[in-house]
Every structure is written in C-alpha cells, then in structure tokens.
A and B are shown apart, each in its own frame.
Chain A
Amino acid sequence: MSNDVTITFESAYSRLEEILELMNTGKISLEDSLGLYEEADRLIVLCNTKLNQAEKKIEMLIKNRDSDLSFTEAGTPQTQDFSPNVYSTLANRDPLS
C-alpha cells in the first residue's frame, strides 16, 4: 500500500485495465485471481481518490475599478471566495446585468 502513493493515476489506470483483461480471460488461477482482485481494488480506490483529490474551491479574482488585479505580498493575484447565490440575489436587484 505504501507504494501506491508513488503510483501515478495513469499507471494505476492502465494497470487496472490490464488486470481486468486478465481476469476476464479466465485463465488465471484462483489464487492469482484473488491477488489481482486485491490489487485492482486498491487501484480503484487510489484512482478514485486521485480523481476526487481536488478540494472544492470556488474563487473570484479581486479587481479594482480599472479591472486590474490586486496582488498578495507573495505576488499572486488576490481572490475571494465566490458564492453564486449571493450574486444572483444581487443580480435580481441590479438592472444592468
């Protein structure tokens, strides 16, 4: 399992495809099948984790009147969390947009 951390999504994915094909041929011994099954199970979990790894994050860039970005001290553009609902209620009040 400790190795799994270093495996990339792509290699895990292709290994999973390989295992599925092997399992479907039915030429594998029961013992090997069980080993492969466990491996595949780990790979599926790994892939799922990697797929959904990104945390949900919705940001909006902070801009001034001239629509220029403002920056943090580290030099990255400043953002604020964005919640569409707040703006949609605002939108209802704002005849311009």
Chain B
Amino acid sequence: MKALSVTELTLQIKKQLETGFASLLVQGEISNIKLQSSGHYYFTLKDPSSQISAVLFKGQTRHLSRAPKEGDKVVVQGELSVYAPRGNYQLIVKSIDFLGVGTLLLKLHALKEKLQLQGLFDPSQKKAIPKFPKTIGVVTSPTGAVIQDILQILERRAKGFHLILNPVKVQGEGAAEEIAKAIDQFNQHNLCDVMIVGRGGGSLEDLWAFNEEIVVRAIASSKIPVISAVGHETDISLSDFAADLRAPTPSAAAEICTAEKVQQQAFLQRSTSQLQFAIQSKLQTAKRQLKTFQRHPYLTSSSHILSSRWQDIDEIRQKADQTLHSFIMQKKFHLDAKKEQTLLLNPVHQITIFKKKFDLFDKSIGNALKNKINTHKKNVLAANLQKRIDQSMWTTLQSKNQSLQRLLAHLTALNPKNLLTKGYCILFSEKKDSVILHAKDTTLNQKLCILMQDGELEVEVQKKPCQTTLQ
C-alpha cells in the first residue's frame, strides 16, 4: 500500500466531505463568536455533546434579519468545508434562522425540498404575466393593507381597471384552506387574467399559511398566472417559489400588472411630443424656405423679371442700329467711289491729266537727251587724253630702248672673249680653276693652260721673273 502525503490525504478528505455535506441544515447554539474587521463572523456551533466551527462571510450577513450573537439558538443553512492549511473542517454558513421558530423552519425546509423535488418550483413551468390584464384577481384579506396598497397603485397608474377581490382569512385556523379554495375558484370560473396572492408583513407564524402545502400546490397548479406578494421583501415563503412571479411588496405586484400599460402610455406621450416636434420642425423649415422664396428678387420687384428682357431689347436695338449704320456707310462709300469715277471721266479733267502726263514726258525726254550729249562729250575728251598718253609712252619707250642698245654694245665690248680676238689670251693654272694674273704666282715647271681665241694650249714654266721668259 502506497503512503499518502498529508496533502493528498487532506485533498481526499476535502473531496469526500465537501461533496457529501454540500447542503446542510444544522441546529445549535452560537458560542465563541468573533466579528473580524473583514466583516466575516467566526463562531462555534454547539449542542450539549458536540461542537463544530463555522464561518459566516460578510456577503451573507446582509440577508440576516439581525446580527448573530453569543448564545443564539439557530438553524444554519450551509455546507461543510475543509480548511487544508489547518487540517480542520468547518461549516460555511449561508443563512441563519434564529430559533424560537426553529421547529417551523425545519418543517418549512423539509416541505420546500419535497415540493422542489416534485417540480412545483420548476422555472420552466412559470407562466408569463399578461401585459394588459383586463381583470386582476386578488386573494387576500379585505381588511388588510395589501388590497389597499394594490388599489392605491392601480388608481394612480391606470385610469380604468377591473379588480375582483376574493376575500380570505390570511392567518390562523383554516386560513390555508381558504386561500387555496379562493385560488381554485378564480380558476374554475376563469374570473381574471392575473392573480395576486398575498398578505402584509408579520412573523413566520403569521405568514405560515403561505407556506402550507395546500396553498403552494394551489398556486403551482393555477392556470391563471399568479404573482405572490407575501410579507416584506425579506420574508420569503414557499408561495413565492411556486408563484409565476414574486413581487417584493403588494404595491410592486400592482405595478407589475400595470407596467406595460404605463410604459405604453409613456410611449404614446413621447410619440405625441415627437410627432409635434417633427411636424413643427418640418413646418418651420417649409416656412423658412417660403420666406427665402418670397425674398427672392423675382418676387420683390418686377424689374428683376423684366430687366434682362429690357437689356435684350436694348442689345437688339443697338445691333440693328449698327447694322443699319454700316449698311449706309457701305452705300455711301460706293457712291463716293462712283462719284470719283465720274469726276475722272470728265473731259476737262482728262485733258488736264493728259497735259500733266505730257509735261512729264516732255521733261523726261529733255533730260534723257541732255544726259546722252553729256556722255558723248565725256567720251570725246577721254579719247583725246588717251592719244596723248599713248604718244608720251611711245617716246619714253624709244629712248629707253636706245640707251639699252648702247649699254648692250658697251657690254659686248667689255667681254674678255672679245679681247681674245684682238690677240690677248688668258692664263689659267693647270686645273683651270683660277686665272693667273701675276708671274710670281707661278712655280718652276708648273704646268699652265692658255686660253686662246680658238682653243687651249698647255705650257710649262721654264723661267721665273728676272728671267721673264715665257715659252
């Protein structure tokens, strides 16, 4: 066998305990009660031989009719819970009923569970409350506060309504039977569309008839939808669970019956003002538009309609004037032209013109003649001048030619070769590159060349100056 850890064991215990004791009613006496600053109550619930710790969390305290205190004998409703960090178990208290009425409460809870199991409180079986009940049935005391509260609300909220009261005893001997019978009577004769069953506030004993099985069954089986209004808002009876709707107070029940009517009245009122607003704004817009139209220039003065027409007419007139004018001008121009032509065709005028032309012609002929004569004159003069120039040129050329001839003769006379014809000769060195002018420029036995008139001679120096012989 495997060893469990403490946590595993605790978790298993927690699971078993918390599922096994999920919904409990426990009777006992409160002791050791402490209110923590968090608003939670911690206490021990005990009887002569046992005790168990219990917690009442802050959230649940507001359902209590009063704060729990030391020594209170109570029946608590709640569940078991294991607090693992400390390894202890405790009651998580959901609600507390203070005893005195303890036995009644136990009876109540037992009956509730029984009826619940039989499906009397099944939400799916709840009927809808009609929106516009024509007749409202009320099962309550004719002398109690409930019928008065209901009538007050109905009179204030609905102008016309039909209420049928089925008067019953709401507490004491036979009350439950009477209430159940009244509910059946409404159903049997189909006397109303919705039924309010209830009574004013009181102790648990006072309200007890509405926890009786016969009443709860009558409500649950009613074909007519039932609104329960039992006691104050904090009192909850089994009738409330069985009813199709629980109203916290009788006034609230009446309000529920007329809610839709009131809403629709409000809608109608709203509609009226909305419609009025819509139509008025529409009319105002239309009026404004109309005013704008009325203020339009077309409507305020006739000239605005006609002005453009007037303008059109003016323009047409102007155009007509212009056309006419230009037509006349054109004709006038043509006339002038014709006039001029006729004037020109007048013989006197023509003669004058011809005369003018003639004069002009005459003048130009004279001018031309003069020009011609002048040209000829110039030509003759030029010809004379040419002759003279030619002559002087000829003379100059002649004299130049003569002097050139003389110079040429002179030059011919000066040619050394001409001298050769007169018996002179020229002595060259053997290589004929230089003329020898002086005897001293020769050497003994030097071969020399002599140029003669008709050819060359080769000679040799035999003797030097002082011997002055030449061979």
Contact = CB atoms under 8 A, between A and B. Distances in A.
B142 A87 contact: yes
Q: Which of B178, B278, B282: most chain A CB closer than 10 A? A: B278
Nearest to B270: A20
How many chain B residues sit at the interface, stated as a range, is 35 or more
A58 B151 contact: yes
How many chain A residues sit at the interface, stated as a range, is 35 or more
Contacts, number: 117
B271 A20 contact: yes
Contact of B159 (A56, A77, A82): A56
A47 B143 contact: no
Contacts of A44: 268, 271-272, 275
Interface in A39-60: 40-41, 44, 47-48, 51-60
Interface of B: 132, 134, 141-144, 147-148, 151, 155, 158-170, 172, 178, 181-182, 185, 189, 191, 261, 264-265, 268, 271-272, 274-275, 278-279, 282-283, 286
Given A60-B164, A61-B167, A77-B185, A51 B272 contact: no
Contact of A54 (B134, B165, B265, B275): B134
A84 B178 CA distance: 20
Given A20-B274, A58-B165, A61-B191, 16 more contacts: A20-B275, A23-B279, A26-B278, A34-B279, A41-B275, A44-B268, A44-B272, A51-B268, A52-B159, A56-B155, A61-B185, A67-B168, A82-B142, A87-B143, A88-B148, A90-B143
Interface string A74-97: 001101001010011011001011
A30 B282 contact: yes
A90 to B, nearest CB: 6
Nearest to A90: B143
A49 to B, nearest CB: 10
